[in-house]
Structure formats: C-alpha cells, structure tokens
Structure 1
Amino acid sequence: MTNLAPIALITGANKGIGLAIARQLGAQGHAVWLGCRDLARGEAAAEQLRQAGIAARAVQLDVTDDASVGEAARFVTQEAGRLDVLVNNAGLMFAPPPSTAQESIGDMRQMFETNVFGAMRVTQAFLPLLRLSAAGRIVMMSSGLSSLGDALDMRSETWGVGFAGYCASKTALNMLTVKLAKELERDGIKVNAVDPGLTSTDMTGNGAGHSPDDGARPAVALAMTHAYGPTAGFYACGPSGDLVAKNW
C-alpha cells in the first residue's frame, strides 16, 4: 500500500455492503483495509479486490472485542501510519421478533454491542490515526428504520415496521454520530450517518432490495466529501444518485 493514496478502513468488509464500499473506494484510488472477524474470509475478499487492481489488505477485527480492536489499530498504525476514512459498517440484526413487548433483551443487548458500542469502540481506537489525516472522514452505517420522525409518521413506509431493538440501536448510533461530529469538527474530521436503503444481503436474508453496490453509494459519497461537505448529517442516495438529507 502506498502512503500517497487515501487510506480507508471498512468494518464488516468481507461481503455485502462493506465489500462494495471497499471496492468503490478502491476504484476511486483509496488503499483499503478490510476489517473482518474471520481473517481467512477477509483475506479472500482482499485478494478479490487486488485481482481488480485495488490496493487492499485484510485485518482481523471483531468490533465487539476490545483486544481485537486494539490489536487492529496497532497493526494499521504500524503498516499504514495514518487513516483518512473510517466506515463503521459492521452490523447485526436478528429475525423479526414476535412483538416489542416480547423481544429478547439478550438479542437487543447483542445488537447494541455491535451496532452502537462496536462502532464507538472502533472509532475511539482509530481516532489517533484519523487525526493524522489532512481530511479525516467517519461514516456510520445507520438505517432508515432509525428515524424517530418516520416512526411517528403514519404516511411513512416504516410506520408498521417492528424490529424495535434493531431500530433503537441505530437511533442511538445517530445520536453518537452528532456528538462525535460536533466534537471532532475542530480537528477537521467530518462525521456522518447513512441510510443504505433496503439492500439484499445476508443480513436481510438476501431478499427484496437493491444491490450492495447501490447500498454502498451514500457511504462512499460521504467518505469522499470535500472540505466544505456536510458533517453531523444523516443521508441517503436519491434516484439520481445525489445525497439526500434524511429525517433524524
């Protein structure tokens, strides 16, 4: 990996939206690190990208494990020396619970551990490297299901959606996005959340939805936003491919 290229780390990047983000950033000239729980799968994905001419490496990274995250940060520091983009893509969602009143607290706890605390754990560990960048960018993979405004709007397509624990975890992630953005503005680091839209991946049972490539687009756009680009925002991609602001 060359130190002249922007350097990006994407968590949960051996498949789905994470791999698509890595591929698209790599095609735009970024050197990409694939953070993966299973290093063998990460290495296979990185080799796939290298075959396409992308500078890619894998690093073992379990967002729920302090030791794993700390070791990953040390390794990237040693090998790369800085970080320009962090995409907190790793996420967890369980099958639909019977109802909010009956949803498993254990399942909720696991989702918060990955979707909220995992994203913060990784962000805190890699902030020293991001502060060495001339244009640090952090992107949080949120969800359209996180919006309190939409959840209260009977006209919204999410009005009747359950998944209370998952939705709550992404709402919490949105608040942390805003808090980080305000705090890191003085360092020139922009922090935004994205809604990939309904995407056909393993997490959604490979059912209805658009492709991971389409789901990756808003994260890639915000990872590459210019000096006057947004921060503390929540965005999706509109039909024309432009970023569209979402309701928190």
Structure 2
Amino acid sequence: MNSVLITGANRSIGLETAKQLSKKGFFVYLGSRTIAKGEAVVANLKENGLENIKAIEIDVTNLDSILAAKNTIEKEQGKLDILINNAGILGTNPQQATNTSIKDIQNVFDTNFFGVINVTQAFIELLKKSDNPRITNITSGLGSLTLHSDPSWKYYDYKTASYGTSKAALNAYTIVLAHELRESFKVNVIDPGYTATDFNHHSGPGTVESAAAFIIKHTVTDENGPTGKFFSNDIEDEIGISPW
C-alpha cells in the first residue's frame, strides 16, 4: 500500500484530500500541528469506515516536530510515496506592501515557504525509497506573477504582501526542486482554486471535494506525468496549467 503524508490535513482541503486518497487505497498520514485535533478527526473518519488513515503530529515551523514525524513514518513504512505540502496560513489583513510589518511577513513565510523546504528536505530520503515518488506543493493563483501583472485577471486587485509573495517564492522553489529531481520524481505546484473554506470565511465559489479531486488528479500520475508544472483549478480548460 502506497503511503501519503499531507501536512495541515485536519480540516478543509487537506482533510478532504486525505479522505479521497484513503478511499482510493492509499495509507494516509493526516498531518496536524496538534495531535489531539488530528486524532479527533481520524476517529470520526474511522467511524465512517476509513481505516487506512492515521493522525501524525507535524508542525512545519518546528524542525524537531518534522523529524519526529519522519522517524515515525520511517519506522512504520520504511519509505514515503507521496508528500503533499498543504499546510499554509493567510496572515493578517490587510497586507499592503507599504506598511505590513516584517514580522507578519516572516510569520507567513515561515509556514508557507520555509516550512515546505524543511519538510521536503527532511523527507527526501524516504521519498527516494519509493518506486514512484511524488511531491505536491499547494500554492495559489495569488502566487502567479503573470496573472498579477494582467489588469484583466479577475483577482488582479487582490494583492497580498505576505501570502501572495510567499506562494510566488514557493513556486520558484518548486521549479528548482523539480529540475533537481527530474530523473525520478514528479514535483508540481497545485492551486486548488478559490475554494469555500475556513481559510477565507467560506467566500470561495469552489468546493473542497472539487479542490481535493484536482490535487489528486495532478499528484497521482503515471511515469509519463508532467513535472515542474503549475496547475490551477481556476484555469478553465481540461488540463488547468497556470502561467507562472
């Protein structure tokens, strides 16, 4: 049974992705910053028939927590097949470039950017033991420099000095990572689209079910699948490739 780690998976899109992958026969480690919240979610899932899922404590801003999670998965699985770096925070609002504090920006980057790097680097050796390793970094359309430079884009006026810039940095890191691992890995960034979640006070038009299905579609790919791409559920075509 292939194994998956999803960070920030105790609610919203991460949780729905965990549920759908579990139903597809994957063993899912449901990452949660606090183990109590994760175990409460998993207990509910098991009551509804999902057995191949386990809560694991992982705070992406805490290296000790990351390494403890890595050691647990290594002991139980010996490898990791899929890493989905889903944990993310929005930060304080508004996020104006002229007055958002460095502290606020750094706080968002610690989770959305540096946290992804820490988790990826910690788990890379376990992923290399997989026959078909996959890394998916969850991004946002707000991280697209091309779209943000286009006045006709529907979200053009929604600029964020912390969140959007952290996702743009994540996109750039993913390009470098995908190139470095191109011989054996599939590494992509995926934007689940503007989805109704707690993250945005349920203002988005998309559903978590659609968002999760889109993430899985572009993560669970065969040996001919693409790598180093930016997929977005908000792009209205069959493939959904977004401009960087």
TM-score range, shorter chain: over 0.9
Matching residue of 2:136: 139
Q: Which runs of 5+ in 2 are unaligned?
A: none
Match among 157, 175, 185 for residue 182 of structure 2: 185
TM superposition shift of 1:98: 5.7
Partners of 1:33 and 1:57 within 8 A in 2: yes
Conserved 8 A contact 1:96-1:162: no
1:124 matched to 2:124? The reply is: no
> 100, 104, 107: which is aligned to 1:107?
104
Letter in 1 for 2:140: S
Amino acid at match of 2:129: L
Aligned residue type for 1:214: S
1:34 to 2:37 alignment: no
The residue correspondences of 1:166-205 to structure 2 (distance < 5 A) are: 166-186=163-183, 188-205=184-201
Cα RMSD of the aligned pairs, angstroms, is 1.6
Q: Distance in 2 between matches of 1:149 and 1:64?
A: 29
Selected match of 2:49 from 31, 47, 53: 53
Q: 2:64 aligns with which of 63, 67, 73?
A: 67
Which range moved further: 203-212 or 140-149? 203-212
SS in 2 for 1:138: strand
Moved more, 169-178 or 220-229: 220-229
Runs of 4+ in 1 over 6 A off after TM superposition: 238-241
After superposition, what is the alpha-carbon deviation per residue over 1:37-93, rounded to whole angstroms, capped at 9, x for unaligned?
A: 110110112223323333000111000001000111001101111111100000010
State the partner residue of 1:247: 243
**Are 2:11 and 1:15 aligned?**
yes
Moved more, 95-104 or 35-44: 95-104
SS at match of 2:182: helix
What is the TM-score of this pair, normalised by structure 2? 0.95
Amino acid at match of 1:208: G
Tell which deviates more after alignment, 237-246 or 133-142. 237-246
Secondary structure of the 2:136 match is strand
State how far apart, in whole Å, the 2-side matches of 1:237 and 1:97 are.
Answer: 25
Superposed CA deviations along residues 150-204 of structure 1, whole A, max 9, x for unmatched, are 0110111121112121111000000111111111112x11100011111111111
Relative distance call for 1:169 and 1:98 in structure 2 (3 A) is: closer
Equivalenced residue count is 243
- The answer to whether the 8 A contact 2:7-2:14 is kept is yes
Instruction: State the shift of 1:238 in Å.
Output: 6.3
Q: 1:12 to 1:87 in 2, by over 3 A?
A: same
In the other structure, the counterpart of 2:93 is 96
Q: Is the CA contact (8 Å cut-off) linking 2:91 and 2:107 kept in structure 1? A: no
Is there any run of 5+ residues in structure 1 with no aligned partner, and where? none
In 2, distance between residues paired with 1:13 and 1:177?
Answer: 21
1:47–1:56 CA contact under 8 A, matched in 2: no
Matches within 5 A, 1:80-95: 80-95=77-92
